Every structure is written in C-alpha cells, then in structure tokens.
C-alpha cells in the first residue's frame, strides 16, 4: 500500500472516531431537548399560554446545540420555527421513519459522511499533487452528498412495493370487518393493533393514523396525510373512497367490492404486461447464450465430419 493511501486511511479512521463522539453527544442533546419540551409543555398546561414571547426571542434563548439540531431537522427558517415538508422528510416517511429525530439523524449522518469523504480524498489529493486530483475530490463529495438520498429513495420504493402487495388482502379484511358490523375507524384500530394478520407494513402505517386520530386530528385528514406521504395510486384511491363514503353517508361494502375487483383486474393486466416484457428480454438471453450452444450441439458433428474429410483429401 502506498504512502498517500496510508495517510488517507489514518485520516479516515480519526474522522470515524470523532464521528462516534459527535453521535454520542447528539444522543445526549436529543434527550435533553426531549426533556425540555416535556417541561415546557407542563409549564404551559399549568400557567397558561406564553404568547407574549415572540418566536425570535424563543430562538435566541435556546442553546447553540439546540439551534443546530433545529437547523438540521429543517424546522428553522429565518427567525421562526416551522415544520417544513422537505423532500428528505417525505423520503423518510416513505421508508418508514417519521419524526424530527429521524430527520436529524439522517442529516447528521449525511453531513458526517460528506466530511469523511472530503477529508480522505483531500488528504490523498494533497499528498499526490496530481492535476485532476481536486476534480476527483469534488466528484467524490458530490456522490457522498447524493448517495444517502439515493439509498433512502430505494428503501422507500421497496416499502411502497410491499404496501402494494399487501393492499388487496387489506381490502378483503376491511370488507369482512365492515360486513360484520364493525365501523371503519374500529377496523383500522384493530388492524393497527393486531400483528398476526400478516401485513406488517400497512399495520405500521395505520398505527400512525390511529395515533394521529387519538391526538385530535380528524380521520379523513390523517388518512389523507398518510396517502400523500406514501404516494401510491391504489392506496390514494382507497383513501378517497373511504373519505367520500364517510362524507356522503353511503354504504362501504359494495364500493369496496367493486374496488377490489378493479384492483385485481389491474394487477392481472400489470402481470401480463410484465410477462410480455420478460419474454422480450428472454429472447435476447436465448440468442446470446442458448442459440450458440444449440448450434454447437446440432451442427457440431457435421462440421467435424466435413473438416475430417477435407483433411483426408489434402
């Protein structure tokens, strides 16, 4: 191993150790912030609202580490504390990670990863002193910044595919519960609490909906928020169907049956399309791998006989 790579490895290990220390400090700061929010909530319930204090004054009263955590979580904009519907928050929700803690952890990990890659490649570029070294450093830093989001998007798409696979069984479960006289809200609560149904991803999503309803949000708003975060067409149609029947007071059994039939037909057509594309791809595989072997097996003895006859003539 050359000396530049040894120096880069030492810098990377030192940065990794410093990152672990920063992560431990981040966990401690997060617990302190959680306790402070609980105490402030208790003080507000006990002594009333503190509306006389502006958001800027509240921000200036906070310690620097809490302001940094608010900045990483996307809740700090100018001089006010706002919940921003950022792309990272939507990707985390699709992957199953919700809350400020998940967003702060993701932003901290991405910043730490970018710093590690920057230090490793910058030290290598300083030692090597090649003309294109800093271009490689810029490309590596750009990849380190985009790689966590790409991984998160992949996790979200895989989870959305699992939700799409679980959706037909959930519709049958909802029809069965509604046909036995159980309301939609009770059905969703039982489904979220019951882990033996075999639909873990949808159960976790409806558990979030159940907690949102318990916290005071209406059922239609909680369901609409879940459908907007997941961004699955079939699930959005189902949520719109439930909200419309609840709004107009219509029965849900027959619309669910028709929606289940339409969903099964759509999945059948999607499967036929997938099989057609797979057959087209298999033609290329057969031409590249199966056809040469078939030619060798069928025409090989004839070619060998022709070559042997020509060699005897000569």
**Predicted confidence (pLDDT) per residue in 208-256, tens digit:** 888 888 878 888 888 888 888 888 888 888 888 888 887 877 777 888 8
Say if residue 194 is in the same domain as residue 208: yes
Residue 310 lies in a domain: no
Give the pair of three-digit tokens for residue 243.
């909200």
Which residue would you say has higher pLDDT here, 24 or 313?
Answer: 313
Q: Has residue 84 got a pLDDT over 60?
A: no
SS (H, E, C) the chain: CCHHHHHHHHHHHHHHHHHHHHHHHHHHHHHHHHHHHHHHHHHHHHHCCCCCCCHHHHHHHCCHHHHHHHHHCCCEECCEECCCCCHHHHHHHHHCCCCHHHHHHHHHHHHHHHHHHHHHHHHHHHHHCCCCHHHHHHHHHHHHHHHHHHHHHHHHHHHHHHHHHHHHHHHHHHHHHHHCCCCHHHHHHHHHHCCCCCCHHHHHHHHHHHHHHHCCCCHHHHHHHHHHHHCCHHHHHHHHHHHHHHHHCCCCHHHHHHHHHHHHHHHHHHHHHHHHHHHHHHHHHHHHHHHHHHHHHHHHHHHHHHHHHHHHHC
Give the residue, 10 or 203, on which the prediction is more confident.
203
Do residue 179 and residue 79 come from a single domain?
no
What pTM was computed for the model?
0.64
Residues 261, 122 share a domain: no
The verdict on 187 and 56 lying in the same domain is no
Q: Is residue 288 part of a domain?
A: no
User: Is residue 192 one of the residues assigned to a domain?
Assistant: yes
Buried b / exposed e along 241-270 (16+ C-beta atoms within 10 A): bbbebbeeeeebeebbeebbeebeeeeeee
177 and 152 share one domain: no
Domain boundary among 126, 157, 188: 157
Asked if pLDDT for residue 132 goes beyond 60, the answer is: yes
What mean pLDDT value characterizes the chain? 76
196, 147: one domain: no
pLDDT of 96 above 60: yes
| Average pLDDT value for residue range 66-72 | 54
The domain tally of the chain equals 2
Are residues 125 and 228 located together in one domain of the fold? Answer: no
Nearest to 188 by CA among 205, 165, 169: 205
Last residue of a domain, one of 110, 135, 157: 157
226: domain CATH number? 1.20.81
Please state the rounded mean pLDDT for residues 8-14: 66
Same domain, residue pair 15 and 84: yes
- Whether residue 90 lies inside any domain: the answer is yes
Between 23-37, 210-224, 255-269, 285-299, the lowest mean confidence (pLDDT) is in 23-37
Mean pLDDT of 54-61: 47
Q: Tell whether 20 is covered by a domain.
A: yes
Range of the domain at 201: 163-265
Specify if 274 maps to a domain.
Answer: no
In this structure, the answer to whether residues 61 and 150 fall within a common structural domain is yes
Q: How many CB atoms lie within 10 A of CB 73?
A: 23
76 bridge partner residues: 81
- Of the candidates 205, 197, 107, 213, the residue with the CA atom closest to the CA atom of residue 156: 205
- The reported pLDDT for the residue numbered 243 is 85
Q: Is residue 295 part of a domain?
A: no
| Confidence check: pLDDT of 49 > 50 | no
Tell me, yes or no, whether 152 and 53 share the same domain: yes
The token pair at 215 is 């916290």
By percentage, how much of the chain surpasses pLDDT 70? 70
- Give residues with Cβ within 8 angstroms of 201, minimum separation 6: 96, 159, 162, 163, 166
In tens, the pLDDT along 152-205 reads 999 999 999 998 888 888 888 888 887 777 777 788 777 777 666 678 888 888
Q: Please tell me whether residues 15 and 66 are part of one structural domain.
A: yes
Residue 258 lies in a domain: yes
Of 59, 92, 88, the closest CA to residue 74 belongs to 88
Could you tell me the two tokens for 133?
Answer: 């070294």
Query: Of 107, 126, 157, which marks where a domain is finished?
Result: 157
Residue that wins the pLDDT comparison between 141 and 38 = 141
* pLDDT score recorded for residue 82: 37
Check whether residue 97 and residue 150 sit in a common domain. Answer: yes
- Gap between the Cα atoms of 253 and 263, Å rounded: 15
């Amino acid at each position: 191993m050359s000396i530049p790579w040894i120096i880069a490895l030492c810098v990377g290990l030192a940065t990794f150790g410093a990152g672990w220390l920063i992560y431990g400090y981040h966990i401690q700061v997060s617990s302190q912030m959680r306790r402070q929010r609980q105490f402030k909530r208790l003080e507000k319930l006990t002594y009333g609202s503190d509306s006389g204090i502006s958001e800027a004054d509240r921000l200036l009263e906070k310690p620097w580490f809490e302001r940094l955590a608010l900045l990483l979580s996307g809740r700090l904009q100018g001089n006010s504390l706002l919940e921003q519907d950022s792309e990272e928050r939507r990707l985390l929700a699709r992957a199953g990670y919700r809350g400020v803690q998940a967003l702060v952890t993701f932003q901290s990990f991405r910043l730490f990863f970018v710093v590690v890659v920057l230090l490793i490649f910058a030290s290598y570029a300083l030692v090597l002193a090649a003309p294109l070294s800093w271009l490689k450093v810029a490309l590596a830093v750009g990849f380190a910044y985009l790689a966590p989001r790409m991984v998160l998007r992949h996790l979200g798409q895989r989870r959305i595919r699992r939700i799409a696979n679980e959706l037909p069984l959930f519709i049958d479960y909802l029809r069965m519960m509604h046909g036995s006289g159980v309301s939609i809200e009770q059905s969703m609560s039982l489904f979220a609490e019951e882990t033996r149904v075999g639909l873990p991803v949808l159960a976790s999503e409806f558990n979030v909906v159940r907690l949102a309803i318990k916290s005071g949000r209406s059922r239609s708003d909680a369901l609409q928020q879940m459908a907007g975060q997941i961004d699955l067409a079939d699930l959005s149609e189902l949520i719109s169907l439930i909200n419309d029947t609840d709004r107009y007071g219509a029965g849900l059994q027959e619309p669910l049956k028709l929606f289940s039939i339409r969903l099964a037909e759509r999945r059948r057509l999607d499967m036929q399309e997938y099989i057609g594309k797979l057959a087209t791809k298999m033609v290329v595989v057969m031409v590249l791998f199966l056809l040469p072997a078939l030619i060798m097996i069928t025409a090989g003895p004839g070619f060998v006989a022709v070559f042997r006859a020509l060699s005897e003539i000569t």
